[in-house]
Amino acid sequence: MSDIKISIIMPVYKVEEYVGKAIESIQAQTLTEWEFLIVDDGTPDKSGIICDEYAKNDSRIQVIHKENGGAPSARNVAIDIAKGEYMYFMDSDDWAEPDMLEDMYQLAKKNQSQLVVTGFFIDTYYDEDNYLSDKIYVDDCVYMTKEEFRKNAYRYFDRNLLYTPWNKLYDAEYIRKYDLKFPKTLWDDFPFNLSVVRNIERVTVTSKPYYHFIRKRAESETAAYRPNMYEKREEEHGWMIDLYEFWNVHDAGSKEMVARRYVERLIGCIENLTNPKCDLSYGEKRRQVKEMLGKQRVKQTVKIAKPKSSYMKVMLVPVKMKNVTLTLLEAQMITFVKTRNTKLFAKLKAGR
């Protein structure tokens, strides 16, 4: 334990059915010089007890029990005590291929990288035993200057490679230099990674996927109805604009990505209103959609955005028309497919 290469950090909350597989996938790693900081965030189920049992038989595992404060606070507790050269953040209901840590570590050392970004799998279960696996990746590349990375960052945002922490290895010295922490907010991964890439210089990107992001739990963050989703997406868009202003990057590719990202998430916000758990009246839904479509930002972004699939081109038609009825009808169709045919929805989403 005197030579810890990677500190693995994982918050745990209500995942008793899944956390064992997550822990075992780390224990199976070909790189063995790690510490595993598991933070029990006041979970009411047996997740914390399960983690304690693994820790009894593996001195590299340390379980920290705390009152519930959310995943950001759990991760930040571990960041403060991590001893490794690098940090890796895992979710407790996913799992990783056995060569992940070793490959990432070797790439980081070889290129003196402050950040390593890998491909990943999205495994969407459409019944108990069967799933559709979508592989997300881009070509290998090594960036040694911040200017080169910033010019090409839109490619990685575009493939959803820069939003999550679990497909990345972070240089611990860099994290501490800028005192980077996960903010206490919904979907904290995104603002954390924006703060990481803001001043980053040396980045290695590998096309190889390792991490399996599981879409299965009905109560997961991605399945829930969010009353404040639209306001949150507007805030996130502001963060993206701020980042590119700070970088002083305004090329056509970057601007198009930011615009398309905005309109795609706008459709998601409208679909959120047709979620079965949304109890707003139809009139209130219409009022909110009309307000969304009437924003000047929508008019600007739909002009710049260039959808890459026929599916997304069709989705944008009622938005461009500012037709509230058609837009809501479209959202209802998306919800129908999402709730009745998970396999088809996963294919459509992957191809958008």
For 36-87, what is each residue's pLDDT tens digit? Answer: 999 999 999 999 999 999 999 999 999 999 999 999 999 999 999 999 999 9
* Contact present, 138 and 150 (Cβ < 8 Å): no
* Contact present, 78 and 91 (Cβ < 8 Å): no
* Contact present, 108 and 204 (Cβ < 8 Å): yes
Residue 19's domain spans which residues? 6-215
Same domain membership, residue 249 and residue 111: no
Last residue of a domain, one of 182, 215, 248: 215
How many structural domains does the chain have?
A: 2
Last residue of a domain, one of 215, 242, 272: 215
Same domain membership, residue 189 and residue 62: yes
For 294-336, what is each residue's pLDDT tens digit? Answer: 999 999 999 999 988 888 888 899 999 999 999 999 999 988 8
Give the pLDDT score at 1: 47
CA distance 193 to 173: 16
- In the chain, pLDDT over 70 holds for what percent of residues? 94
Same domain membership, residue 61 and residue 172: yes
CA distance 136 to 157: 12
Q: Chain-centre distance of CA 215, in angstroms?
A: 12
Last residue of a domain, one of 215, 241, 265: 215
Give the pLDDT score at 341: 66
User: Is residue 1 in some structural domain?
Assistant: no
Query: Strand pairing partners for 100?
Result: none
Give the pLDDT score at 130: 80
For 230-263, what is each residue's pLDDT tens digit? Answer: 999 999 999 999 999 999 999 999 999 999 999 9
User: Is residue 220 in some structural domain?
Assistant: no
Give the pLDDT score at 138: 96
Query: Strand pairing partners for 124?
Result: 132, 215
Q: Kindly report the pTM of this predicted structure.
A: 0.93
- 339 confidence band (pLDDT: 50, 70, 90): confident
CATH number at residue 196: 3.90.550.10
- 217 confidence band (pLDDT: 50, 70, 90): very low
For 155-201, what is each residue's pLDDT tens digit? Answer: 999 999 999 999 999 999 999 999 999 999 988 999 999 999 999 99
Mean pLDDT of the chain: 93
For 11-29, what is each residue's pLDDT tens digit? Answer: 999 999 999 999 999 999 9
- 269-289 mean pLDDT: 95
Same domain membership, residue 201 and residue 160: yes
CA distance 332 to 317: 15
